[in-house]
């Protein structure tokens, strides 16, 4: 039996590819999220970090824009990885966390600027994608 087989018949989990250079820039080179986003614009984690920083500083529209950018770059990456618009996106897989964090940041920023329908849709998308991410990020 395949340990990753979905017994309910749904799509298999999607695992985005790792970007070791972007992680290295953040860790070893102490690059800022803006520097990493400029060097690796498809790396959603950098956009999530920018969105979080802007939100914490009260720059809600800027946070929304950063989160939306990372969200869309993440959707593109998910599709390239075989995702068909639904199915699990495990938070336990490091490369998925940037997209999931952008999705949560987009929900949070949308709610803060009064876009409640979008906020609700994004929170539901997060929950449908990863219960673990939803529990961790919806605070």
Q: What is the mean pLDDT of the chain?
A: 94
Burial of 121 (0-12, 13-18, 19+ CB in 10 A): middle
Q: Could you count the other beta carbons within 10 Å of the beta carbon of residue 1?
A: 5
User: Could you tell me which residue, 48 or 8, shows the higher pLDDT?
Assistant: 48
Whether 79 contacts 90, CB under 8 Å? no
pLDDT bracket for residue 8 (50, 70, 90): low
Give the pLDDT of residue 116.
98
Q: Report the predicted TM-score, pTM, of the whole model to 2 decimal places.
A: 0.92
What is the rounded distance in angstroms from the CA atom of residue 62 to the CA atom of residue 65? Answer: 5
What is each CA distance from 87 to 12, 14, 84, 128, in whole angstroms? 7, 8, 8, 8
Give the pLDDT of residue 3.
46
**What value does the CA radius of gyration of the chain take, rounded to a whole number of Å?**
15
Give the pLDDT of residue 7.
60
Give the pLDDT of residue 2.
42
What six digits make up the tokens of 36?
């990493």
Q: Which residue has the tokens 């529990």?
A: 135
Q: pLDDT tens digit string along 82-124?
A: 999 999 999 999 999 999 999 999 999 999 999 999 999 999 9
Exposure b/e, 13-28, CB count within 10 A at least 16 = b: bbbbeebeebbebbee
Q: Is the pLDDT of residue 26 over 50?
A: yes
User: Could you tell me which residue, 8 or 75, shows the higher pLDDT?
Assistant: 75
């Amino acid at each position: 039996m395949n340990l990753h087989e979905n017994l309910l018949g749904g799509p298999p989990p999607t695992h985005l590819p790792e970007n070791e250079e972007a992680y290295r820039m953040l860790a070893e080179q102490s690059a800022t999220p803006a520097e990493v986003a400029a060097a690796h614009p498809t790396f959603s984690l950098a956009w999530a970090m920018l969105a979080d920083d802007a939100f914490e500083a009260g720059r809600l529209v800027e946070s929304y824009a950063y989160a939306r950018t990372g969200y869309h770059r993440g959707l593109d990456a998910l599709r390239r990885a075989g995702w068909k618009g639904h199915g699990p996106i495990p938070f336990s897989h490091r490369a998925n966390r940037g997209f999931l964090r952008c999705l949560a940041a987009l929900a949070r920023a949308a709610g803060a600027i009064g876009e409640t329908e979008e906020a609700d849709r994004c929170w539901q998308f997060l929950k449908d994608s990863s219960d673990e991410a939803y529990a961790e990020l919806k605070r």
